[in-house]
Structure 1
Amino acid sequence: EVTEAVDVASEPRDHIRVDVAALSGAEVPAGTAEEFLRRGALARALAMSGAMERVLDLVVEHTTTRVQFGRALGRFQAVQHLVSDIAAEGALARAAAQAAVTIAEDSGFGSDEAGFAIAAAKSCAGHAASVVVRNAHQSLGAIGFTMEHELHRHANRLLSWRREFGSVRFWDEVLTAAAVDAGSRGLWPLIADGRPE
């Protein structure tokens, strides 16, 4: 059963309901659903980091060319703080996503190391998206909310992608459970290497 729907960015996101009891066929191997969840989460983390880079470009362009009170917006310290937070959060999201790609390539998507790295990447991207969207709209003001400006396309997608393939809270809980399981002695090796001692 398919129900048509759209996400925050007005992109199609239909809801699909499958009556599993009515299906016949081969058994699905254990871990398949988790692997698809991880692959989707990593794809979203990468897409989000790319969108954040574009948002940063738009904000830098606007704040360096827009003049208020006789000087460019980017010359105001408060605006500089907003822009630097966008850059820092975007860089963190990209670094986490790229690290997760490397670990998944080396260890496989089913490995504990890849699971931890992907959880960290999706969590970082989700938290970063909140800061990036908020600061970008503060930096651009009303123009960023208009349909004529490009910002809303990236901002709405960032907010939508945060929830896809596991919400920020879902991935934060995965990370918290891994940290608790690692214990005090295993926490640093888990963070540094992706696996406890």
Structure 2
Amino acid sequence: MNATPVTTWYLEMRDPAWLRPARVPEPAPLILRAEHPLPMLNRFLYTAVGGHWYWRDRLNWSYARWLAWLDRPALQTWVLYVRGTPAGYVELEKQAGDDVEIAYFGLMREFFGQGLGGHLLSVGIERAWAMGARRVWVHTCTLDGPHALANYEARGMRRYHEETRIVHLPAQPEGPWPGWDRSDDV
């Protein structure tokens, strides 16, 4: 394990008028809410998107824990599809005080550079406001995708807190499946 400094930025949107939607890519991708709580789907999305970025918090969750997280009215998962293929997702959680957190957001690497991330984030923020949010917030860090912070700010979210801490990490991320190697991403 390597001791690594990690900077985390907290961003918020306090008014839906702050949203600066990204352009809709052509052809327009489909974004659907996963209305049936299905732990396999969310675990797949979590590892497929976050495996490259040290997303580790949920790797050891059991089926029951995933189901308990998902099977709540406060939680929504929106999945981005490109030509029928899942390409990314946004997970929204309504919290006490009517804040809505963008709990997880991202694209699979194969879909980077197509304008999909800005569009998915725009739709995710719109859905968060539709949940009755008084504030939409998110945190991102230096372990997330290289364009995450810029995307949040480009959509109109504003930083309100920053912190740096030391985290102990393996030499490389876990990857999207057991035995993954960086050479698999050719």
* Higher-RCO chain (CA-CA 8 Å, sequence separation at least 6): 2
* TM-score of the aligned structures, taking structure 1 as reference length: 0.24
Higher-helix-fraction structure: 1
Higher-strand-fraction structure: 2
* TM-score of the aligned structures, taking structure 2 as reference length: 0.25
Greater CA radius of gyration, 1 or 2?
1
